[in-house]
Structure 1
Amino acid sequence: MTSQPSVFLHVNSSPEIIESEGTMTKYIPEISPIYEADNFSLLENTTTNGTLPIDMIFNNGHLPAVILYPLLMTLSAIGNIAVFTVIVRLRFKGELSRIHLLILHLTIADFIVTFVMMPLEIGWNYTVSWDAGDGLCRIMSFLRIFGLYLSSFLLMCISIDCYYAVINPLAIYEANRRAKWMLAFAWIGSIIFSLPQALIFHVEVHPEFRWYQQCITFNSFPSQNAELAYNLISFFFLYVLPMLTIIYCYAHIMAEMYRVNSQKQSDVMFRRSNIGVLSCAKIRMLKMTVIIVATFFFCWTPYNVMSLWYWFDRKSAQEVDQVI
């Protein structure tokens, strides 16, 4: 560890610390999971001439976020506002079903991601440094991951609800009560798992460039093992648990539908008593939810694979192109 001052920077939504030493600047791109606490690294760097390294100012590495996030934000806003409008109309018509209620809450979670997380990423990548103070640093760090937890937990709830709708379609009262409990779990659980972000993120001021400050988690953990444990716990509840739940529920749904379809014609009347199991409405709803969870899988899996790679082999992960 050198005694020279450290330089704080933010690259691709990833606050980092680079140590100063010598006369040359060495930068290695950072892979930074959004729920990772220690999303900065200690790298060798130099800045003896009093000027900021290129990684502490806006550069080409920030362009993808600044250019693509507004586009994604617009598309997400249009889609979620359309879904929200349809569900609100159903509510006023008295036609709001249990699954519609769950999707309504999922839309609200998407609003948090669209109108809180995305603008934060755009602004943070544009300014590079954090200029909003310690309070907003903690609040935004909380909200930044809260929407993601809520979306993941609500996808679990939707999958579980579809599972019971197929396995036990007659238990309507129990299903409605279960939906309320699942919604409570999704919101309360998201708050609980997001709160540590507000505790570990804080603003640090650069010791040399006093005007430069960053919202980071530097020195928030007593050891590297504690940091890794936090990251893995977040990884499990944000990705692994929802994915396992989704796979389990839909695997059993498909198995049950196959079993029912395979019954003899003499069982037709019995199967019809299982109201709605194979109805067109439920088939359409099943297709819609499958699309939702498939999107979750294809969007999150590459990101989380890179996260695991970074945690367990940081050196090789840092060689990945910064744009990625």
Structure 2
Amino acid sequence: MSGNWSSLAPPPSPISPPPPNISHPPRLADWEAPSFTRAAQFRVGATFLLFLFATCSNLALLASLWCGRGRRLASHLRPLMLSLASADLMMTFVVMPLDAVWNVTVQWYGGNALCKLLCFLKLFAMYASAFILVVISLDRQHAILHPLDALSAHRRNRRMLLLAWSLGLLLASPQLFIFRAIRMEGVDFTQCATHGSFSRRWQETVYNMFHFTTLYVVPLLVMSCCYSRILLHIHLQHLRDKAGESYLRRSGTDIIPKARMKTLKMTVVIVLSFVVCWTPYYLLGIWYWFQPDMLRVTPEYVHHALFVFGNLNTCCDPVIYGFYTPSFRADLAACCRRTRSDASLRSPDRLSTGRGHHSGEHESDATNNQAAGD
């Protein structure tokens, strides 16, 4: 986006470069209204594709966990995956459409109340997604290091999830007071920004760094600590086996039950996808906060591409879950079969002849007999 008042360009995220927290207006003679550039058009198109995929995949995951084969998941794991899918859907339905529409309109047309609410929901969705990954990591750590406490896992996880959602609400609440719709005097331009909320630039930097720390650094440190302790525990178990301290000879995969090891691998990959997708974008934000002139030397499409890459994390979670969970794949296959069956029954050829109806009955009988045999 062109122009010196970067806060008047649609901010892609609460802590993105250029961030919306610029407190000093430019001179009108030096200011040029931002426009819907080619790079922004690419961003909107890519965000739309991610929105479609994330909506379908996360809704399918939610349906599988709620009323499909996913209900068979362990009672303490099911709420974790339900919360993760819900957080991803919040990112999908709040962050992606808001970002796309804002880039198209360039300025803000939603009014003051909607400005505050959507900026709050945007940051809350990001906090919820990060904190639920922390809860999943803590659960895996406790399951591996203290396997005998499985009976209390359900109650413990519900408390941690309640804390995660509550902390997200609390930490995102300043957005309700800092953001507001601002009309630039002398030109017909309105933007949802934080102009006037900070009297000094260092205050703005502290605010952004606080959110960066609580949204990315702290969750990353906690998750790294959890999986480091798990790896250390597995390594020590190997050493004990080699030293003959265990009475039974066990292979490396038998140190931890296979089902628990599979869940552990799944959560590790989910956490890694979060780190890989969002790290480049957050690093770009830090660079901007301390060197605002980087906007002049960094191509605009880099900012847009990194934000789209960060949103890819919302699509990764259901894919990773499906890769490690046969029940989810079975639910998807059953849904596709039902869809094809309904489409074939409604086709004009089948409706015009009785053969389609009878063949559908035979297929249904065969399917029911197979299900009874299973």
Q: What does residue 61 of structure 2 align with?
A: 83
**Which residue is 2:305 aligned to?**
none
Which amino acid is the alignment partner of residue 38 of structure 1?
A: N
The equivalent of 1:10 in structure 2 is: 9
- Once the two structures are TM-superposed, the CA of residue 141 in structure 1 deviates from its matched residue by 0.3
**CA apart distance, 1:175:** 2.4
Q: Supply the distance in 2 between the matched residues of 1:279 and 1:309 (Cα, whole angstroms).
A: 44
Q: Contact 1:160 / 1:249 at 8 angstroms: preserved in 2?
A: yes
> What root-mean-square deviation, in Å, do the aligned CA atoms of Structure 1 and Structure 2 show?
2.8
Change (3 A) 1:119 1:191: same
Q: Is the 8 A contact 2:115 2:181 kept in 1?
A: yes
Q: Does residue 127 of structure 1 match 2:105?
A: yes
2:29 maps to 1:46: yes
Task: Indicate how the Cα distance of structure 1 residues 159 and 92 shifts in structure 2: closer, same or farther if over 3 A, else same.
Answer: closer
| Partner residue in 1 for 2:203 | 226
- Aligned partner of 1:179: which letter? N
From 267, 272, 296, give the equivalent of 2:246. 267
TM norm structure 2: 0.71
Instruction: Report SS of the residue matched to 2:77.
Output: helix
CA–CA distance in structure 2, aligned partners of residues 110 and 120 of structure 1: 15
5 Å matches for 1:217-296?
Answer: 217-264=194-241, 267-268=246-247, 278-296=256-274
Partner amino acid, structure 1, of 2:124: F
Contact 1:7–1:206, Cα closer than 8 Å, also in 2: no
Deviation for aligned residue 1:236:
0.7
Mean CA deviation greater in 284-293 or 312-321: 312-321
| Residue correspondences, number | 293
Cα contact 1:200–1:217 (8 A) shared by 2: yes
8 A contact 1:133–1:203 mirrored in 2? yes
Deviates more, 1:201-210 or 1:124-133: 201-210
2:167 is matched with: 189
Q: Separation in 2 of the partners of 1:102 and 1:95? A: 11
Aligned partner of residue 278 in structure 1, secondary structure: coil
Question: Which 10-residue stretch deviates more, 188-197 or 168-177?
Answer: 168-177
* Unmatched tracts of structure 1, length 5 or more: 1-5, 16-29
Q: Contact 2:23/2:197 (CA < 8 Å) preserved in 1?
A: no
Aligned match of 1:319: 297
- Cα distance change on mapping 1:8 and 1:39 into 2, 3 Å: closer
- Secondary structure in 1 aligned to 2:293? helix
Moved more, 70-79 or 296-305: 70-79
Verify the 8 A CA contact 1:40 1:216 in the aligned structure 2.
Answer: no
Residues 302 and 39 (structure 1 numbering): CA distance in 2 closer, same or farther, change over 3 Å? farther
Larger relative strand fraction: 1
Gaps of 5+ in 2: 303-374
- In structure 2, C-alpha distance between the alignment counterparts of 1:233 and 1:62, rounded to whole Å: 28
Tell me how far apart the structure 2 counterparts of residues 75 and 268 of structure 1 sit (CA, whole Å). 50
Alpha carbons 2:24, 2:196 under 8 Å: kept: no
AA aligned opposite 2:207: Y
The whole-number CA distance in structure 1 between the counterparts of 2:145 and 2:76 is: 16
Give the match for residue 112 of structure 1: 90
Q: Kindly state the Cα deviation for residue 177 of structure 1 after the two structures are TM-superposed.
A: 2.5
**What TM-score, normalized to structure 1?**
0.82
Contact 2:108 2:191 in 1 (8 A): yes
Distance 1:289 1:78 in 2: 21
1: CA distance, partners of 2:93 / 2:72: 29
State the match for 1:26 in structure 2.
none
Counterpart among 182, 190, 201 of residue 204 in structure 1: 182
TM-superposed CA distance for 1:278, in Å, is 1.2
User: Which shifted more, 261-270 or 186-195?
Assistant: 261-270
Question: Are the aligned partners of 1:69 and 1:118 in contact in 2 as well (CA < 8 Å)?
Answer: yes
Could you say which residue in structure 1 is the equivalent of 2:191? 214
Which one-letter code corresponds to 1:226 in the other structure? Q
**Structure with greater Cα Rg:** 2
- Partners of 2:8 and 2:192 within 8 A in 1: no
Judge conservation of contact 2:120–2:173 (CA < 8 Å) in 1: yes
In the alignment, is residue 141 of structure 1 matched against residue 140 of structure 2? no
SS of equivalent residue, structure 2 residue 88 = helix
1:72 to 50, 55, 60: 50
| 1:13 aligned partner, one-letter code | P
Q: Which has the higher helix share?
A: 2
Secondary structure at the residue paired with 2:262?
helix
Give the distance between the partners of 2:6 and 2:92, measured in 1 at CA: 31
Structure-2 separation of matches of 1:303 and 1:42: 26
Deviations 1:30-56 (A, max 9, x none): 923xxx551587556637xxxx94x43
